[in-house]
Amino acid sequence: MKTFIPKVDELNRKWYLLDLKDVTLGKAAILTANVLRGKSKPIFTPHLDTGDYVVAINAAHVNISGAKSENKLYYHYSGYPGGLKITPYARMMNTKAPKIFTHAVMGMLPKNRLGKKMIKKLHVYADDKHPHQAQKPEILKLTES
């Protein structure tokens, strides 16, 4: 018996719309990472990009649990001495809200060139306006359990 390997050309990729308004950041990031990887599809293969596209809206209204809103910090290091930049969560939410969700999803994808290819299928917007109506995205429900 031979193992089935899906052809990348034959993949039928869908577009999904995820509303992040009043949703916990981690739960939404897990769902998004699984859709981007294609883990819910029967043709899932770990070494291939079999996932779908995700358009996330209302990223400025995402929630985080606990005291993270006061304590969470985002680090960026340029590689040079003295090049460490630390941004608190509150300032990041005011200036770059979509980057918070992208950063959370990136942490749940593979740390290689396959993960970099997958993150390009994620489109995050701070409000509810997005330019992807032509793709007719299906609504992606976050199941709260």
Q: Tens digits of per-residue pLDDT, 59-93?
A: 999 999 999 999 999 999 999 999 999 999 999 99
Task: Answer whether residue 56 is part of any domain.
Answer: yes
Q: Which of 122, 97, 99 is nearest to 34 (CA)?
A: 122
pLDDT category of residue 1 using cuts at 50, 70 and 90:
confident
Q: What are phi and psi of 57, to 5 degrees?
A: -115, 165
Task: Answer whether residue 48 is part of any domain.
Answer: yes
pLDDT higher than 80, residue 143:
no
Task: Answer whether residue 81 is part of any domain.
Answer: no
pLDDT higher than 70, residue 144:
no
At residue 11, the pLDDT reads 77
Q: Could you give the CA distance from residue 127 to residue 61 in angstroms, rounded to a whole number? A: 8
Query: Which CATH number goes with the domain that contains 116?
Result: 3.90.1180.10
Q: Which of 96, 117, 132 is nearest to 17 (CA)?
A: 132
pLDDT category of residue 28 using cuts at 50, 70 and 90:
very high
| Range of the structural domain that residue 102 is part of | 15-64+95-139
- The whole-number average pLDDT for the span 87-112 is 96
At residue 145, the pLDDT reads 47
pLDDT higher than 60, residue 108:
yes
Most distant CA pair in the chain: distance in Å?
57
Task: Answer whether residue 52 is part of any domain.
Answer: yes
- The whole-number average pLDDT for the span 107-128 is 97
Task: Answer whether residue 144 is part of any domain.
Answer: no
Task: Answer whether residue 6 is part of any domain.
Answer: no
CB 123 within 8 Å of CB 130: yes
What percent of the chain has a predicted confidence (pLDDT) above 90?
86
Domains in the chain: how many in total?
1
Kindly provide the b/e burial profile for residues 16-33, where b requires at least 16 CB atoms within 10 angstroms of the residue's own CB: bbbbbeebebbebbebbb
At residue 9, the pLDDT reads 78
Task: Answer whether residue 110 is part of any domain.
Answer: yes
Task: Answer whether residue 35 is part of any domain.
Answer: yes
